[in-house]
A = this chain, B = another copy of it.
Amino acid sequence: MEVVSENRSFGGRQIVAKHPSDACGCDMTFAVYLPPQAEEGPVPVLWYLSGLTCTHENAMSKAGLQEHAAHHGLAIVYPDTSPRGDEIANDEAYDLGQGAGFYVNAVCDPWKANFQMYDYVTDELRGLVERTYPVTDRHGITGHSMGGHGALTIAIRNPDRYHSLTAFAPITNPTCSDWGRKQLSAYLGDDETSWTNYDATLLLEEHGWKGDILIDQGASDQFLDLLKPESLSAAMARRRQPGEFRMQRGYDHSYYFVSTFAGEHVAWHAERLI
Q: Mark A108-148, 1 if CB is under 8 A from B, else 0.
A: 00000000000000000000000000000000000000000
Residue A260 is within 8 A (CB to CB) of chain B in the complex: yes
Considering only residues 6-45 of chain A, those with a C-beta below 8 Å from chain B are 7-11, 14
How many identical chains are in the complex?
2
Q: Which residue of B220, B252, B259 is within 8 Å of A67 (Cβ)? A: B259
Considering only residues 183-230 of chain A, those with a C-beta below 8 Å from chain B are 218, 220
Q: Mark A255-274, 1 if CB is under 8 A from B, else 0.
A: 11101100100000000000
Q: In the complex, what residue of chain B is closest to A58 when comparing beta carbons?
A: B61
Q: Mark A39-61, 1 if CB is under 8 A from B, else 0.
A: 00000000000000000000001
18 contacts between A and B (CB under 8 A): A7-B257, A8-B218, A8-B220, A8-B251, A8-B252, A8-B257, A9-B257, A9-B260, A10-B260, A11-B260, A61-B255, A62-B62, A64-B64, A64-B67, A64-B259, A66-B259, A67-B259, A67-B263
Assess the B256–A14 pair: CB atoms within 8 A.
yes
A residues engaging B (CB < 8 A)? 7-11, 14, 61-62, 64, 66-67, 218, 220, 250-252, 254-257, 259-260, 263
A251 to B260 CA separation, bound complex (whole angstroms): 25
A250 to B8 CA separation, bound complex (whole angstroms): 6
A8 to B64 CA separation, bound complex (whole angstroms): 15
Q: In the complex, what residue of chain B is closest to A250 when comparing beta carbons?
A: B8
Assess the B64–A61 pair: CB atoms within 8 A.
no
**Which residues of the partner chain B approach A263 to less than 8 Å between Cβ atoms?**
67
Assess the A7–B64 pair: CB atoms within 8 A.
no
Minimum CB–CB distance from A101 to chain B (whole Å) comes to 24
Minimum CB–CB distance from A100 to chain B (whole Å) comes to 22
**Which residues of the partner chain B approach A62 to less than 8 Å between Cβ atoms?**
61-62
**Which residues of the partner chain B approach A67 to less than 8 Å between Cβ atoms?**
64, 259-260, 263
Q: In the complex, what residue of chain B is closest to A68 when comparing beta carbons?
A: B67
Instruction: Kindly name the residue among A8, A64, A250 whose own CB sees the greatest number of chain B CB atoms within 10 A.
Output: A8
Q: Which residue of B7, B218, B252 is within 8 Å of A256 (Cβ)? A: B7
Minimum CB–CB distance from A228 to chain B (whole Å) comes to 21
Minimum CB–CB distance from A94 to chain B (whole Å) comes to 19
Q: In the complex, what residue of chain B is closest to A61 when comparing beta carbons?
A: B62
Query: If A61-B62, A62-B61 touch, does A252 touch B7 (CB 8 Å cutoff)?
Result: yes
A9 to B262 CA separation, bound complex (whole angstroms): 11
